[in-house]
Amino acid sequence: METEATRSILPLLAFALPIVAAVLTVPAQRVSEHARAALLLVVAAAVAAVALVLAAGVASGTVYDTYILQLTPQIWMYLRVDAAGALFGATVAVLWLLALVYSLGYMREEHRLGRYYGFFILCLSWTMGLAYAGNLLTFLIFYELFSILTYPLVVHEETPEAMAAGTKYIVYILFGGTLVLLAIVLTFFSAGVQTFTAGGILSPETDPSMLQVIFWCFLGGFGVKAALVPLHGWVPDAHPAAPAPFSAVLSGVMVAAGSFGIIRTVFQVFGTSLLTSMGVMPYVTGVAGFTVLFAAALAVNQDNLKRRLAYSTISQMAYVVLAVSLLGPESTVGALVHITNHAFMKGGLFLCAGLFIRRLGAYNVQQLDGAARRMPITAACFAIACLGMIGTPPLSGFTSKWYLGLGMLETEKPWLLAVLLGGALMAAIYLLPIVYRMYFREPVITPEDRTVAEGREAPATMLGPLVAATAITLLLGIGASLPGMPVALARMATDAFFH
Amino acid sequence: MEVVDARVALAPAISLLCGALVFAAADNTFWRRFWSVSAALAKLGIVMSMLPGSLRGVVYTFDLVEFTPGVGLAFRADALGMFFSVVSSTLWLFTTVYAIGYMEREPNRRRFFGFFALCVSTTVGVAFAENLLTMFLFYETLTICTYPLVIHDETPEAMRAGRTYLVYTLTGGAFVLLGSIWTYQLAGTMTLSQPGILSMEAGRTTLTALFVCLIAGFGVKAAIMPLHGWLPTAMVAPTPVSALLHAVAVVKVGAFGVLRTIYNVFGVELLRELGVCDWLAALAAVTIVTASIIAIFQDNFKRRLAFSTISQLSYIVLGAALLSPLAATAAIVHIANQAFAKITMFFVAGSIQRTTGKTTIHELAGIGYRMPYTMGAFTVAALSFIGIPLFAGFVTKWYLSLGALESDRWIYALVMLGSALLNAAYWLPIVYTAFFKAPHEEVVVQEAHWTMLGPTLACAAYVLLLGMTVSVPGMPFALAQAAVTFVFGM
């Protein structure tokens, strides 16, 4: 244990409040839709507040923990908020709040809203639990719960495509979860204790082939969620099928949960010195580097906007794994910061995609010609997020890639800069033409286009969260070096990892 | 510490008495219900009153009769027996309430409830049996008492299923008897109070033959393949009977017999030396996988449940056969985990059948909107079988996987994880059909009567409780651990 932890009820609240809210949505919607909306908003805002308070506390040097349940005589369900967890938790909670507000506008005319909102808020609970999980089994609990219980959100629209995507999702995720469980069982069998510890919990004396098996099971299992090629198959199908606000969290934090799992595994289950001696990391670098370029190449040809963004997520999340695989402090800072930065950029892009669908009936890139004239604010947000994604300074995407690049030089692998720059170049190739179409092409008025008659921008419930996400992207970029910002937390986490 | 206490004998006796009173109540519905429910409550009360003592390590014993010196009817509530009886008497209460609702308009209710009570009496008799003879006696009585329940509908199909059932189980019983006498001849005692009474002196071949004999006998009811044939056909019985057969009484008595054979007749040390358990483990693993694969292709709801039961029972057998403390913990707690989850599913199947008349899975499209609580309970049970953490099934999966590693047979850890995926392959489509397929007709919420819905929800809640709360004192988990400690001499 690095730091003595302070017992606190806050981590417990972050995961318990949404469960209470999910249960209460049923009676609340009997009262009225407004009651349900108010309940959900209050709880999501409270969770975001708790997450930010915890992040601020962690930034000032405290570590919080809570014991919840004794699962077996040896293992507790245990929450522990360290710097990495606090950063991820705050990201999750804020993005969720934005997506929830957006849902209130976006989902208005949808069916089965009780189910949607119930599971939407429930999944916040599992994801917060995942961020704050203090040991492997707790991590697994939340990982499995949120994998399985997001299914109703993925298939929400119940179109044949959504159902097919849902089946694909659940099959991938169950296999991934099984591998993670196997890895955790093997870890427990080899090491006993499971509390995440900097420097790792597996001892170097463990049978080397056992270590290899554990490592690849973890990587394979989390790799499904983190969408490492060739385990990425569910991502491009699930994103277009899901409702836009859920696509935003799916891309922003769900995929990142897999990367977060890999970070925990690498630094707090194995530890850097063990992994260096095992010699597995170059392979991971290879897989991640390939994923960055391969997914970006596939993104270029996608006409469906959400599908293109989904491939972009695969590519961008592989940066995180790539950064982790270098086992250097600077790149690790980059990895942690990139999770947060990507969450708001990609979340923002999906929120835009949802608005294009709702306001212009535009699902495909080609339908976005001249969109900027009819939806100037949305288009501006989209353009900013795109530039951030490419890594233009001073936007947040630049910050993370800067650290990643530093890490590559620090670990003396300068040729990897080619991957970094190649990925950025490809992002420009698959994102900028959209921006170009929006600003420099004449709009084509389609029959189903309702915006001509009824005004242009979306109402504030949808536009507000989008603008907020964009503002956060700007803030994270411009204010990157301020105290209490993600970089500071990521630095603390990295210091702990490398002590 | 051993204490002579009549409660050990009273627990089986009270259901016996209840059976008699139900028969005496003739066709008076009120008294039949009254005696059924109050006997269930009384028995649960008696068993629970012994629980604190049992958790402190007290073993209650009671010798009823002695035929010849050392041979007689005797009861003994050790940790393993207490575990089984806590589970079965809790479930009996739920099943009784459910049966009252389910059997509302059925003929022959007197016969039904009478034998129903007798079944549970004999189940607790098996749980508390101090020696193989007592165990055999109750084991056989259980066979006889369940027969009228299996053929309750008296259709030709039911009569046929009843015959199959009798042929299988009576043959199994004969093997148990043979094994018991043989054990007595070899060891000079039939007691189940020791961690093993046989020794290597008897000779390897003899011991192997005896082991095969006892396991074959108990294995019929535990439905180890290829002895499982009776179970799917016995599905013609009314649903509460299926629930009782599958989750509480018959099959669990078989599994319990396997546990007793391994832990108390042979003992872990002897079996390690003998090496026969490797074969048993392999057979159990084959059963787990094969039965699951067959289950995937069953469209009849109850038949799918039946094959799932066959698969799940072999978890217990596998856990016992691995001869490691962690796997043993899994085997014992799975008695409860499987029981509560499976009985939930049977209750659901029965409620759907009674409310809508539907018995096949493809008819269930949209049923989740018609019976949301019922199908919610089903989903909980399904997630438990898949082994999602915080649900009961995960505890089994976790300990059994660790046990497989502990006994250096990692292949069985893979079997466990593979089986979890197979469980997902046949349970999730039902959840999917119920909640995500558009219903064919206009949907009005129409739940089963509360006597059926209540037990269903209670059992589903137990599934969650068992998965989350080993820390709550008095949960059977502590008993399972005490049993393991005793058996492995730790």
Per residue in B239-271, pLDDT tens? 888 887 766 778 889 999 999 999 888 888 888
Other CB atoms within a 10 A radius of the CB of residue A413 amount to: 17
Answer for the pair A373, A281: CB distance below 8 angstroms, yes or no: no
Interchain CB distance below 8 Å, A70 and B428: no
Instruction: Please tell me the distance from the alpha carbon of residue B179 to that of residue B132, in angstroms, as a whole number.
Output: 9
Cis peptide before A11, with omega less than 30 degrees from 0? no
Distance of alpha carbon B126 from its chain centroid, rounded? Answer: 12
Q: What is residue A467's predicted lDDT score, i.e. its pLDDT?
A: 93
Q: What is the residue extent of each domain of chain B?
A: 2-487
Chain A positions in Cβ-Cβ contact with residue B397 (cut-off 8 Å): 181
The verdict on residue A251 lying in a domain is yes
Give the pairing of strands B71-77 and B59-68. antiparallel
Alpha-helix residue ranges (DSSP H) falling in B297-324? 301-321
Considering only residues A465 and A202, tell me which one the structure prediction assigns the higher pLDDT. Answer: A465
Segment A459-489, tens digit of pLDDT: 888 889 999 999 999 998 888 888 778 888 8
Q: How many CA atoms lie within 13 A of B220 on its CB side?
A: 21
Give the H/E segment covering residue A329. Answer: helix A329-355
Residue A1 domain-assigned (yes or no): no
Q: What is the mean pLDDT of residues A380-400?
A: 89
CA of A208: how far to CAs of A211, A268, A372, B9, B401, in Å?
5, 18, 57, 55, 20
**Among residues of chain B, what percentage have pLDDT more than 70?**
97
Q: Which residues of chain A are within 8 Å of residue B417 when distances are taken between CB atoms?
A: 178, 181-182
Q: Over the stretch A89-128, which tens digit does the pLDDT of each residue have?
A: 999 999 999 999 999 888 887 778 888 898 999 999 999 9
Q: CB neighbours of B19 closer than 8 A, spacing ≥ 6?
A: B114, B115, B116, B117, B118, B121
Q: What angle do CA B132, B137, B142 make, to 5 degrees?
A: 120
How many domains does chain A fold into?
A: 1
Task: Find which of A78, A168, A181, A207 to mutate to test the B interface (most B CBs within 10 Å of its CB).
Answer: A181
Residue A268 CA to residue A197 CA, distance in Å, equals: 5
Average pLDDT of chain B is 85
Give B437's DSSP letter: S
Find the CB nearest B388 among A148, A185, A186.
A148
SS3 category, A9: coil
Q: Are β-strands B2-4 and A76-81 bridged in parallel, bridged antiparallel, or unpaired?
A: unpaired
Task: Tell me which chain B residue has its CA closest to the CA of residue A188.
Answer: B402
Start-end of H helices in A60-108: 83-106
Q: Which residue has the tokens 């697994």?
A: A140
Task: Spell out the alpha helix ranges (H) of B103-244.
Answer: 109-128, 132-150, 156-187, 204-221, 230-233, 239-243
* Biggest CA-to-CA distance, chain A: 72
* Nearest-angstrom CA–CA distance, B40 and B93: 5
Once rounded to an integer, what is the mean pLDDT over residues A225-245?
89
Which phi and psi (to 5°) does residue B107 adopt? -80, 170
Which of B390, B406, B417 is nearest residue A178 as measured by Cβ atoms?
B417
By C-alpha distance, the chain A residue nearest B428 is A170
For B477, the closest chain A residue by CA position comes to A72
Is A141 within 8 Å of B389 when comparing Cβ atoms? yes
- Is A362 within 8 Å of A368 (Cβ atoms)? yes
Rounded Cα gap, residues B415 and A345, in angstroms: 43
**Which pLDDT value is given to residue A229?**
85
Q: What is the pLDDT of residue B239?
A: 82
- Between CA A343 and CA A255 the distance in angstroms is 10
Nearest CA in chain B to A143: B389
Q: What are phi and psi of A483, to 5 degrees?
A: -65, 150
Residues 6+ apart with CB under 8 A from B23: B110, B114
pLDDT at A231 over 70: yes
Q: What's the CA gap between B356 and B376, in Å, rounded? A: 17
* Closest C-alpha to A344, from A373, A384, A372, A306: A384
The answer to whether residue A72 scores a pLDDT higher than 80 is: no
Is the residue at A21 inside a domain?
yes
With a cut of 70, say whether residue A154 has pLDDT above it.
yes
For B473, name the nearest residue in chain A, comparing CA atoms only: A70
Please count the residues of chain A: 499
Confidence of residue A1 (pLDDT cuts 50, 70, 90): very low
**Tokens at residue B346, please?**
């049977």
Distance from CA of B86 to the nearest CA of A (A): 20
Q: Pick A69's closest partner by Cβ from B406, B438, B471.
A: B471
Give just the sign of the alpha carbon dihedral A382, A250, B369, A165: positive
Among the listed residues A26, A93, A31, A247, the one whose alpha carbon sits nearest the alpha carbon of residue A156: A247
The pLDDT tens digits for B401-416 are 999 988 888 899 899 8
Q: Are A343 and A91 in contact (CB under 8 A)?
A: yes
Task: Give residue for tokens 């787990």.
Answer: B288
A-B contacts (CB, under 8 Å): 59
**pLDDT on residue A453:** 46
CA separation for the pair A391, A395 (Å, rounded)? 7
A51 contacts A343 by C-beta, under 8 angstroms: no
Q: What's the pLDDT at B451?
A: 79
Retrieve residue B299's tokens. 């469209």
Q: Does the CA dihedral B351-B356-B360-B365 come out positive or negative?
A: negative
Contact present, A176 and A231 (Cβ < 8 Å): yes
- Domain span at A127: 6-498
Edge-to-edge strands, sheet with A6-7: A6-7, A64-70, A76-81
**What confidence tens digit (pLDDT) does each residue in B308-357 have?**
989 999 999 999 999 888 899 899 989 888 888 988 998 898 888 888 88
How does strand A6-7 pair with strand A64-70? Answer: parallel
**Cα angle: A396, vertex A401, A407; to 5 degrees:** 140
B428 and B385 in contact (C-beta within 8 Å)?
A: no
Could you give the CA distance from residue B243 to residue B257 in angstroms, rounded to a whole number? 20
Residue A422 Cα, gap to closest chain B Cα (Å): 39
* Contact (CB, 8 A) for A292 and A403: no
Where is A147: in which H helix or E strand? helix A136-149
- Cβ–Cβ below 8 Å for B414 and A170: no
- Contact partners, residue A27, CB within 8 Å, separation at least 6: none
3-state secondary structure of B475: coil
User: Considering the domain boundaries, does residue A282 fall inside one?
Assistant: yes
Contacts of A148 in chain B (CB under 8 A): 383, 388
**The predicted structure's pLDDT at residue A344:** 93
Work out the minimum CA distance from A459 to partner chain B, whole angstroms. 31
| Mutation target among B432, B433, B485 for the A interface, most CBs of A within 10 A | B432
